Copies of this chain bind each other. A is one copy, B any other.
């Protein structure tokens, strides 16, 4: 049996595999009549919980990963350039997303794409509040209101609650996709996700 509930898509804006998934998951879900709930989180607390280090900082695995990012992007047909400043802090980006989402989901989704593409194709440093505000203004978003919101305790608490909730659900990396309770870690799980959506499990 096939469900119809929204798919949860957890990611960090600094995650190359998260970016690749962001360019694929909406179309894939739509082909199977599903919506996707985007949920940016912070990989820092997730890695702390799992005891892992960032991929590119691990001996041997770091070299492999940098090669695999580029090759996986090519394989999936997604434009990608490895940022020199990597990984970066993504609190501001994630907070901006949730602030927009409280007002308009479609605007937030579109801005999340803008952030990902700015970082992974134009090498803009989206850890900088000024860059996030500039991109927001270009997208027609009230950057003065956003600037104010970014200083609020409520918005910081909102992101922290999202990260805590993600950890409680078992999120252990980026991207992490949950379909009707079934978790899929990594953009390389796309074929399994497609099979799961087509058949309501396998």
What residues of chain A have their CB less than 8 Å away from a CB belonging to chain B?
A: 46, 49-53, 58-61, 63-64, 67-68, 71-72, 74-75, 167, 170-173, 182-183, 185-186, 188-189, 191-192, 195, 202
- Please tell me which one of the listed residues B53, B167, B188 contacts residue A186 in the complex, with CB atoms under 8 A apart: B188
The docked-state distance in angstroms from the alpha carbon of A61 to that of B51 is: 10
The docked-state distance in angstroms from the alpha carbon of A23 to that of B4 is: 35
Given contacts A75-B195, A192-B75, contact A59 B49 (CB under 8 A): yes
Whether B59 and A185, one on each chain, are in contact in the complex, defined by CB atoms closer than 8 angstroms, is: no
Whether B191 and A64, one on each chain, are in contact in the complex, defined by CB atoms closer than 8 angstroms, is: no
The docked-state distance in angstroms from the alpha carbon of A182 to that of B53 is: 24
CB distance from A57 to the nearest CB of B (A): 9
The docked-state distance in angstroms from the alpha carbon of A49 to that of B63 is: 13
The docked-state distance in angstroms from the alpha carbon of A182 to that of B70 is: 13
- Please tell me which one of the listed residues B46, B68, B192, B195 contacts residue A185 in the complex, with CB atoms under 8 A apart: B68
Residues of B contacting A185 in the complex (Cβ-Cβ under 8 angstroms): 64, 68
Whether A64 and B186, one on each chain, are in contact in the complex, defined by CB atoms closer than 8 angstroms, is: no
Whether A173 and B51, one on each chain, are in contact in the complex, defined by CB atoms closer than 8 angstroms, is: no
The 6 tightest CB contacts between A and B, nearest first, are A188-B188, A60-B172, A61-B172, A50-B61, A50-B58, A50-B60
The docked-state distance in angstroms from the alpha carbon of A61 to that of B195 is: 23
Whether A60 and B186, one on each chain, are in contact in the complex, defined by CB atoms closer than 8 angstroms, is: no
The docked-state distance in angstroms from the alpha carbon of A103 to that of B84 is: 50
